[in-house]
Structure 1
């Protein structure tokens, strides 16, 4: 008896749009847009490769939508009426995508008046009746109606057991079966259509019942067992909005149920047996790849006609710029001829002899990728469980150091003693002759440092990726710089997910309890992937102009930031506790005042209840309801009401600020104090902000309000150790200074050169007089225009009409024409090249700068105007951080600790007696940080203060 057949049905339409948003615009040698075609081809290739390695299909077909109309439009003429037309440059790619599918010698199925989902359903049902299993390659919620269902009747003659249906979500590399559908929808697959009918779908314009969301829909269907029963139950419900809506919109729900029902009896244009996989003949695929210039894929196929060194003819920017060759190099580098990753080649190092052998191999290789496995995410408290090394493709190992159960009587596998292993590794990790490569190395450096192990020199693939591709991608595929994303994007390989080993939630186990064979496969793979990424990405730095910012700014910063995190900062626990109590008391008072003003008690934190009070009961004007049916009560709305004299809005704003500060800082900071050090150790992300700024998390110390009395009270809780003081060194108006230099504005440069107050100078230029009011307006204008603000945005900031705001902008540009030229030239450059650039060469990509959607386009334009300025500011303070400790050590002040970097400020801790000596050194390093790479035409002003708290240092 032959093995059971397994049909894979690929939702090709979903692949197309994922592919379109995956890469920048690309053109082939004929000038035809092919970005989506290239992305689609690589995704299909990866799917085929993955399935070939796994328990793959015996049969496979790709299903596409033929047109935008279907029989559902005849039932409901507004069906999918909200969907925009496909992007102009995508339309000519649709036929090429069909060509790509056929080039793989795969069936490409599409039918008029029938959607791809219906064809998938029809083929799936037909296949299960033949006894075949079916996997739908998609993440479409509509198709989840089919999951977990097995054919039991109407089987074809001779078939004794029907097949079953599941789903493969390639975005998450996850299998979806019946249990996963129940977890997502709260009901089994056969009732998913009922849930969808109640909740509707704004994308497909399926009406559903207004106000009924996924949770309510799921609960109703789960309780009553069907849509009809749920609708029938409305008559017996207590009076409520839900009851009214179920009764009033019953017909909409019943229509929606018809619209979401998949058609399972479509004629099948290609017989199932014709979908049999017999391999991919190379000739048609090679011809297709050659025609469209996909040379890197040709190399993978082994059928290219060019020389091995030749790169693809793709030019990602040709559609918008024929001369921006460097910007496309990131998509033009073909991967080296490496063998596929084979986890069976990895070695688990359980003896000192084996460890010494790997150390010798790493010394000989001169480059080794290193990764640590630990017991927790917090680098300041995590226990080191193991170390992995990789020296080349298929050459990787895992060195377990603390595996075994947490119970003292648990059996522990054979492994090298941790202290002995680290002592053996120290010379390798500290050797100048061997480059150590990490992915997010800051974490590993901190873990190893706590065990007395220093590491240098290093490379970091996460930082390399950021230097090359910050902001480049449009979605999760390659949009971030995590190892899994980089591996998917650049290597076409999906690493083992961490949760596959350790689980999630209450059933999760620590990594030290993972069996060694599985731990070795996971950990050594991470090291090998890191090695491959370094070899693939680092050569791009020279080609794309990223070497300067990586080598002079980013790479040397990694150990500096790691050391800052280890230092941490002392926080007065008792002061925070008192503040928290004070905030709680004040919050209670505000709640009472708000309830009195409202005339009733209600949940202030509920946007719905607050909106009903403000606009329905109290009758304030300007309330707007969103798609959810409730009023917006965001910050802007409350500030507008406050400006109109609504006292309740003032109180709610105060209440929100206090509750946020209490939960985010006074309570959270107490919990964040490390029990071993008594200090708070924030974690800095070196790739968290697109422009290159550092971002702070766990806890976030960068969002504490600076100028409010409450924010200052929180900063008072940050204190030095006994005998020390805190020193805060802040760049004064650095972004305005950089704008004066980069836009070449003589008036502003002159003002800075003479130490004038820049806002007063702007007020004088704009209004002819300087007083408190004109200076405040000038300050708002100075910063707002640098952020590309619109007339409406400035009108809101200044409290004037849009026409008056436009007149202000016009006057500003007239007085400072250099600013207007800078904005115009920056936008033209970004539209042409696809990216902005700082004075140090840091690129920030803006793939939506020419988006047809106005909001997306204008958002990108505003960000693009400011990115070179803000990014240059970030580069300068990073350079200052890198140079700071060597300068202090040279002066005999190596005991001074650099603790925090917050916006344009650095915070230090030092003995009070060293302030006079350290201050001029800190000021000099910060003031000259741009040199010699960049010589600024304006001085960088530094303000330094000291005190017994962070607040007092300002």
Structure 2
């Protein structure tokens, strides 16, 4: 040990969340989640190795948060209230992370009621007072209050930012905050912190906070001076929020006099003994780290003190790909610093940013608008991201944020867009966005055709669809991705624009706050791109992203801009008819009930059905009211309850009226006279597109009412609508993927597949057996149970099981497909389409039978439905170029509804367009996949969507 004592204090809590968000799920040989444990271990290993090769510490400790509660919650109960609870799969990893620290033979410190920052502050001050130098391994801005040079007998305190591999001393703190470390807390108190829910002074950002402290010397000085300031919003806010600022100062003040649970002398470093570390790595199957120990390469601490570790391999079936040689080291990026963002307010500066973007060849872009509807919103500004913390906001249409404020200086929109257009349209520069389809539509309305593009939201979906522990396919929004992968909580629209009565348009947000929000979006998007794009090649996602989803983004954006014409008069007439029928049903229901009640109230309806009328089968939920869902009503209807049939019909008509005939009229764009739906490329876990605002994919297909609604979708004068539909595509794919000769033969010969199934199962074909066969064909592909099939066919469970058994006997390939698919998903954690699209099922091995069985049913269908989705997407990408090649450039693709594409085209082009559309759809799988069955296409045309069927 050298004479000079140097203590390193590691902010372990920050390490944990960085580790968790860097890696995908990983389990050890016993099935316990250890993704964060592995990431934490590698980060600690790297730190120990780097410090050993540099001028390292003599003493080192890792400091952790004991819990989410501290004494600050007693002072301010809302402290950190915005923070979500830890992810479910991270919670069991916390004790293992402590084990990892001790496996390195390092001190691991935590105390109830104190935050890690307070323990770090207390140890740092204690060591410095004894003349020791102290380095805090963290980039946390709160800890920057502690930084100081040597002063007489007092040691120096600095920080080590391992993300940037840089030291933070007094000069760096002053450069960041504009004040000395002793005044950082005053700046933090004024600006507040949305992550920790520290209120600060509303509307005061980092620059204003720094200026106030610089001018007045302290928080108290700034607050005392407010009364003498000239009238302004700032004065009002300082006076109004003084108490919040003073409270915030208390919350950001670090507790520097905590009792030290372990003496500093006990932190002395003397190498890393091999046994605890070797045993820990063996226990959790971290084989690559064991190999590093075995070879002596990159060993932590003083390598000469380490003995070779025995090679141990993880047990078969564990998700240990994250720690093998196949995974690329993810980039280390500096923490997000909103104060580094630039507001571009003149053309000279804008041209500089454009020039840099052109040179870098990759730019993250994001638009800020006046509304969510891309077909009607005005463009307020654009943000660009060129690197970590290298982002700007270009405002176009910000007005004063109140009646007394002036319009801020900003760039003229037309002039700025003219300058940006070459960048946005340059083939040499990739434009990266988060849900960039929205930005494409906004910018297209201003004359810019943005291309080529990448989309971090779509990349995330292609990598991690369904991977979240709650088993749903969501979780690809920017806020969630930022938290998951970057460990950063983004500013929200509510943070900037408020909500409720205090909601203001984005164009009224002050430019300093607007810049923080907008540029952060571009910065985060750029960072996510650096994190996610390399994973595509490593994890096998490149094929589906590059061949299916990425080229689809611009195609779908174009479809949204096209929209579809609806006949307002026809819809109004339908709404009127529905209203009359609903009123009549309401009277009938009241008559059957013997009294009036609110039919739309589940509680009142339940009371009528089971208490007033005395029907059997009522069951109450936790709320104490009867369930009146569709299954209950259908069961009552089967038992002969006429009121149940009436309520079902009432509900259907009410939904159709509100969701379609009324809503579609309201959705007509006043500028185009058409309805523009919005398609999500990440809305369905299996890869299907989903439609919203309005949803055009759930209009009933086979009912007379559904056909009436489709009749209201019409072509412009001189045009017709053409509908092209894949016929029984999922059954065809099942025949191919399960290798069922009987079904492949039937499709090849153009037979009625349901009739062929009826013949195979029942030995005879009539209306009833064909209907049963049709139900069974589709039900089996969804992994239906005997009870589910019994309910659909109206038979006993044993009879339904006998039908399932017969089906598998006649088509053993289907059963083999189901068994092998489930075995694969249980082992790998995901299913895969023929084009490589992965869908994750984290609950497939759950001990909860409902969760497990639900995952199994979805896993059986996902490869088939996902392949179907991939095929129609490939057809969509190829369609318009194929039509243009045949001189049919006037054909417009308007809608995609499950297995159907809807076009609008001149009436005279129909016969020429049909064979082109059919050929593209029939050959969409080629050349990537050659199917053993033909893809059947049904095409019809007419003046309306209904007539085209």
TM-score by length of 1: 0.72
Matching of residues 273-292 of structure 1 within 5 Å: 273-274=259-260, 292=281
Which residue does the alignment assign to 1:81? none
**Per-residue deviation at 1:764?**
0.6
Q: Distance in 1 between matches of 2:865 and 2:816?
A: 18
**Per-residue deviation at 1:491?**
1.5
After superposition, the Cα gap between the structure-2 partners of 1:451 and 1:589, relative to the gap in structure 1 and judged at 3 Å, is same
Kept in 1, the 8 Å contact 2:456–2:528? The answer is yes
Which residue does the alignment assign to 1:96? 96
Superimposed CA distance per residue, residues 693-749 of structure 1 (whole angstroms, 9 cap, x where no aligned partner): 000001111111111111111111111111111111000000000000000001111
- Asked if 1:713 corresponds to 2:708, the answer is yes
Q: Distance in 2 between matches of 1:31 and 1:352?
A: 58
**Per-residue deviation at 1:371?**
1.1
**Per-residue deviation at 1:32?**
7.2
Q: Distance in 2 between matches of 1:371 and 1:616?
A: 57
Q: Distance in 2 between matches of 1:281 and 1:647?
A: 79
Which residue does the alignment assign to 1:434? 429
Matching of residues 76-115 of structure 1 within 5 Å: 95-99=95-99, 107-108=109-110
**Per-residue deviation at 1:560?**
0.2
Kept in 2, the 8 Å contact 1:835–1:846? The answer is yes
Which residue does the alignment assign to 2:515? 520
After superposition, the Cα gap between the structure-2 partners of 1:715 and 1:44, relative to the gap in structure 1 and judged at 3 Å, is farther
Q: Distance in 2 between matches of 1:44 and 1:613?
A: 65
**Per-residue deviation at 1:611?**
1.5
- Determine which of 900, 917, 928 is the counterpart of 1:922: 917
Matching of residues 292-441 of structure 1 within 5 Å: 292=281, 305=298, 321-322=317-318, 333-405=328-400, 411-441=406-436
**Per-residue deviation at 1:409?**
9.7
Kept in 2, the 8 Å contact 1:602–1:609? The answer is yes
Which residue does the alignment assign to 1:498? 493
**Per-residue deviation at 1:558?**
0.2
Q: Distance in 2 between matches of 1:425 and 1:332?
A: 37
After superposition, the Cα gap between the structure-2 partners of 1:361 and 1:306, relative to the gap in structure 1 and judged at 3 Å, is farther
Q: Distance in 2 between matches of 1:408 and 1:172?
A: 28
Kept in 2, the 8 Å contact 1:26–1:318? The answer is no
Kept in 2, the 8 Å contact 1:326–1:544? The answer is no
Kept in 2, the 8 Å contact 1:759–1:782? The answer is yes
Kept in 2, the 8 Å contact 1:730–1:906? The answer is yes
- Determine which of 747, 750, 758 is the counterpart of 1:752: 747
Q: Secondary structure at the match of 2:197?
A: strand
Superimposed CA distance per residue, residues 402-443 of structure 1 (whole angstroms, 9 cap, x where no aligned partner): 111499997322222111111111111111111111111100
**Per-residue deviation at 1:328?**
7.5
- Determine which of 925, 947, 951 is the counterpart of 2:942: 947
Residues 435-444 or 608-617, more deviating: 608-617
Superimposed CA distance per residue, residues 857-881 of structure 1 (whole angstroms, 9 cap, x where no aligned partner): 0000000000000000000000000
Kept in 2, the 8 Å contact 1:23–1:474? The answer is no
**Per-residue deviation at 1:20?**
13
Q: Secondary structure at the match of 1:357?
A: helix
After superposition, the Cα gap between the structure-2 partners of 1:855 and 1:478, relative to the gap in structure 1 and judged at 3 Å, is closer
Q: Distance in 1 between matches of 2:415 and 2:345?
A: 12
Q: Distance in 2 between matches of 1:599 and 1:921?
A: 61
Q: Distance in 2 between matches of 1:470 and 1:563?
A: 25
Which residue does the alignment assign to 2:854? 859
After superposition, the Cα gap between the structure-2 partners of 1:824 and 1:590, relative to the gap in structure 1 and judged at 3 Å, is same
After superposition, the Cα gap between the structure-2 partners of 1:282 and 1:794, relative to the gap in structure 1 and judged at 3 Å, is farther
Q: Secondary structure at the match of 2:831?
A: strand
- Determine which of 886, 899, 914 is the counterpart of 2:881: 886
Computed over aligned residues only, the root mean square deviation of the Cα atoms, in angstroms, reads 4.1
Which residue does the alignment assign to 1:595? 590
- Asked if 1:623 corresponds to 2:624, the answer is no
Kept in 2, the 8 Å contact 1:62–1:106? The answer is no
After superposition, the Cα gap between the structure-2 partners of 1:673 and 1:294, relative to the gap in structure 1 and judged at 3 Å, is farther
After superposition, the Cα gap between the structure-2 partners of 1:306 and 1:676, relative to the gap in structure 1 and judged at 3 Å, is farther
**Per-residue deviation at 1:305?**
3.2
Q: Secondary structure at the match of 1:953?
A: coil
Which residue does the alignment assign to 2:66? 62
Q: Secondary structure at the match of 1:339?
A: coil
Which residue does the alignment assign to 2:481? 486
- Determine which of 725, 728, 740 is the counterpart of 2:723: 728
Q: Distance in 1 between matches of 2:271 and 2:715?
A: 67
Superimposed CA distance per residue, residues 736-763 of structure 1 (whole angstroms, 9 cap, x where no aligned partner): 0000000000111111001111111101
Kept in 2, the 8 Å contact 1:570–1:719? The answer is yes
**Per-residue deviation at 1:92?**
8.4
Q: Distance in 2 between matches of 1:761 and 1:379?
A: 48
Matching of residues 685-704 of structure 1 within 5 Å: 685-704=680-699
Kept in 2, the 8 Å contact 1:21–1:473? The answer is no
Q: Secondary structure at the match of 2:449?
A: coil
- Determine which of 443, 453, 464 is the counterpart of 1:458: 453
- Determine which of 763, 768, 793 is the counterpart of 1:768: 763
Q: Secondary structure at the match of 2:66?
A: strand
Superimposed CA distance per residue, residues 239-286 of structure 1 (whole angstroms, 9 cap, x where no aligned partner): xxxxxxxxxxxxxxxxxxxxxxxxxxxxxxxx9634799999897999
Kept in 2, the 8 Å contact 1:695–1:702? The answer is yes
Q: Distance in 2 between matches of 1:321 and 1:388?
A: 45
Kept in 2, the 8 Å contact 1:289–1:295? The answer is no
After superposition, the Cα gap between the structure-2 partners of 1:948 and 1:90, relative to the gap in structure 1 and judged at 3 Å, is closer
**Per-residue deviation at 1:612?**
1.7
TM-score by length of 2: 0.73
Matching of residues 508-657 of structure 1 within 5 Å: 508-657=503-652
Q: Distance in 2 between matches of 1:96 and 1:477?
A: 27
Residues 879-888 or 328-337, more deviating: 328-337
Q: Secondary structure at the match of 1:629?
A: coil
Residues 444-453 or 941-950, more deviating: 941-950
- Asked if 1:841 corresponds to 2:863, the answer is no
- Determine which of 799, 809, 825 is the counterpart of 1:830: 825
After superposition, the Cα gap between the structure-2 partners of 1:785 and 1:797, relative to the gap in structure 1 and judged at 3 Å, is same
Kept in 1, the 8 Å contact 2:883–2:916? The answer is yes
Q: Distance in 1 between matches of 2:857 and 2:325?
A: 25
Q: Distance in 2 between matches of 1:507 and 1:43?
A: 44
After superposition, the Cα gap between the structure-2 partners of 1:947 and 1:360, relative to the gap in structure 1 and judged at 3 Å, is same
